[in-house]
Amino acid sequence: MSTGWNREQIAARVAQDIPDGSYVNLGIGIPELVAQFVPEGREFIYHTENGLLGMGPPPSDEERDLDLMNAGKKYVTAMPGAAYFHHADSFSMIRGGHLDVCVLGTLQVAANGDIANWSTGELDAVPAVGGAMDLVQGVKQIFVVTQHTTKTGEPKLVERCTYPLTGVGVVSRVYSDLAVIDITPDGFQLVELAPGVTFDEVKTKTGATLRPPAGSN
Amino acid sequence: MINKVCPTVAQAVADIPDGATVMVGGFGASGSPIELLHALIDQGAKNLTVINNNTGNGEVGLAALIANGQVSKMICSFPRSSQSRVFPKFYKEGKIALDLVPQGTLAERIRAAGAGMPAFYTPTTVGTVLAEGKEQREFEGRTYVLERWLKADYALIKCETADPLGNLTYNKTARNFSPLMCMAATTTIVQTRRLVERGEINPEHVVTPGIFVDRVVEVSEPVHEDILIAEGRRYP
């Protein structure tokens, strides 16, 4: 039986890999938690698609401003030195390659770096894409955070995505409750196991070939 | 002397005809021109195509316009959210059409229309179903998708400060799509929390220059979508 990482621990592990001074966009869910685990001595500047660079933590009731939200439509604050701008400037930062890291949740991620995180393709569902397709194309590094398997035990790390794609070959690294895994030209490669988790367990729960860490046998 | 001030929201939206394409500023609740939307509900124009990032929340503002049967098509990036009930219901019943556009492409298509650029290439959607049927071209070894400008007959916009020439400033993230929409619509109608004299806005602080604005109406205490929803309000 494995222990693995909980949501906060996954977020904390992601934060370790973000260099000081990075401009970062965080998706909704576990990615949002990354902001709580900035390593000592580092500064990240957060971008939110709806027009704010320098996003701060949620406001107190007294601080709350109805005109100050993030892309998830939650109330936020602005840090000293923040800037507001319109949507075309915001997506110029994204598409123009000015942001360093984007952390996203997903439905599936494939061994070739494809990501599917906007639609399960069900015909009666209301499709919604938001800014995901722009983010995955434009931001320099795409980190994906996810539970390793679905609630019913299906792998979310797969050989090829079966859900509609958000982007092709764009993901660099995957952080799950079980492991950190790189996307390499040769597919998934283990970087690090969560505490109490074995390579064989991760391999079994991964829907594509998983190679051991570089330098090991 | 130029004076774009309009006395009431009702007069500001009076000439919007059936079948018009209307851009509506705002991202979720922030920047949503609720008073102009409610005036459009009172006015009753039908068969509208509406362009907004979302589809409104609760049963006020844009959601109320849809609930009132005035919107035949939405062009947006994210038509559902936790408080969005009207659009999903209408969509599943086949009462409203949806043109789904990625958020950055939506912004750039609107900007392009305002800037007089009929089309542009973007890396967004390459390899996805949203690129199907669109012209693609390689530049410097990377594939891009051709997207066209997105124009409108009217834009309904909320701002913080306006002068009689139509120079505008916004408040925080309530800015979002609004400056782009002001440029892209034939007729831009703005509700402002503060109407000030000509010269009171520092020219260095103007976000939307008045050339992009046609009508300004003062709404000094605008209601906010989130507050109306929390109070369980609906319109009409």
| Residue A19 placed within a domain | yes
pLDDT tens figures, B172-209: 999 999 999 999 999 999 999 999 999 999 999 999 99
Residue A7, pLDDT > 90, answer yes
Q: What is the rounded CA–CA span in Å between residue B166 and residue B210?
A: 4
Find the DSSP H helices in chain B: 9-13, 34-43, 61-67, 86-92, 103-115, 178-184, 225-230
Q: Which domain holds residue A188?
A: 7-48+98-211
Of A50, A124, A164, the CB nearest to B176: A50
Mutation choice for A interface testing from B51, B103, B121 by most A CBs within 10 A: B103
What's chain A's average pLDDT? 95
Chain B residues in contact with A83 (beta carbon < 8 A) = none
Q: How far is B80 from chain A (nearest CA, A)?
A: 7
Percent of chain B exceeding pLDDT 90 equals 97
Higher-pLDDT residue of B84 and A16 is A16
Chain B residues in contact with A114 (beta carbon < 8 A) = 127
Q: Is A167 on the interface with B (CB under 8 A)?
A: yes
Q: What is the rounded CA–CA span in Å between residue B148 and residue B75?
A: 14
pLDDT tens figures, A135-160: 999 999 999 999 999 999 999 999 99
| Residue A74 placed within a domain | no
| Residue B46 placed within a domain | yes
* CATH number of the domain within which A176 lies: 3.40.1080.10
Chain B residues in contact with A133 (beta carbon < 8 A) = 102, 104-105, 124-125, 128, 130
| Residue B123 placed within a domain | no
Which amino acid is present at A1? M
Q: What is the rounded CA–CA span in Å between residue B187 and residue B208?
A: 14
Of B79, B107, B170, the CB nearest to A91: B107
Of A71, A86, A133, the CB nearest to B180: A86
DSSP state of A147: -
Cβ contact A51–B175 (<8 Å): yes
Residue B83, pLDDT > 90, answer no
Residue A68, pLDDT > 70, answer yes
pLDDT, position B35:
98
Q: Minimal Cα distance from B86: which residue of A?
A: A126
Residue A88 neighbours by CB under 8 Å, 6+ apart: B107, B108, B110, B111, B180
| Residue A56 placed within a domain | no
Q: Which domain holds residue B31?
A: 17-101+150-230
pLDDT, position A96:
97
Q: Is A113 on the interface with B (CB under 8 A)?
A: no
* CATH number of the domain within which B36 lies: 3.40.1080.10
pLDDT, position A3:
82
| Residue B35 placed within a domain | yes
A167 and B128 Cβ atoms separated by less than 8 Å = yes
What's chain B's average pLDDT? 97
> Does the active-site annotation cover A201?
no
- How many domains does chain B contain in total? 1
B138 confidence band (pLDDT: 50, 70, 90):
very high
Cβ contact A95–B123 (<8 Å): yes
pLDDT, position B157:
98
Percent of chain A exceeding pLDDT 70 equals 99
| Residue B135 placed within a domain | no
| Residue A29 placed within a domain | yes
pLDDT, position B90:
96
A134 and A93 Cβ atoms separated by less than 8 Å = no
* Bond into B236 cis (ω within 30): yes
A217 confidence band (pLDDT: 50, 70, 90):
low
A90 confidence band (pLDDT: 50, 70, 90):
very high
pLDDT tens figures, B63-75: 999 999 999 999 9
Percent of chain A exceeding pLDDT 90 equals 92
Residue A1, pLDDT > 70, answer no
pLDDT tens figures, B84-113: 899 999 999 999 999 999 999 999 999 999
| Residue A142 placed within a domain | yes
| Residue A86 placed within a domain | no
Q: Minimal Cα distance from A70: which residue of B?
A: B173
CB-CB neighbours of A51 under 10 Å: 29
A 175-204: CB under 8 A from B: none
| Residue A55 placed within a domain | no
Q: Minimal Cα distance from A123: which residue of B?
A: B92
pLDDT, position A2:
56
Mean pLDDT of A40-45: 97
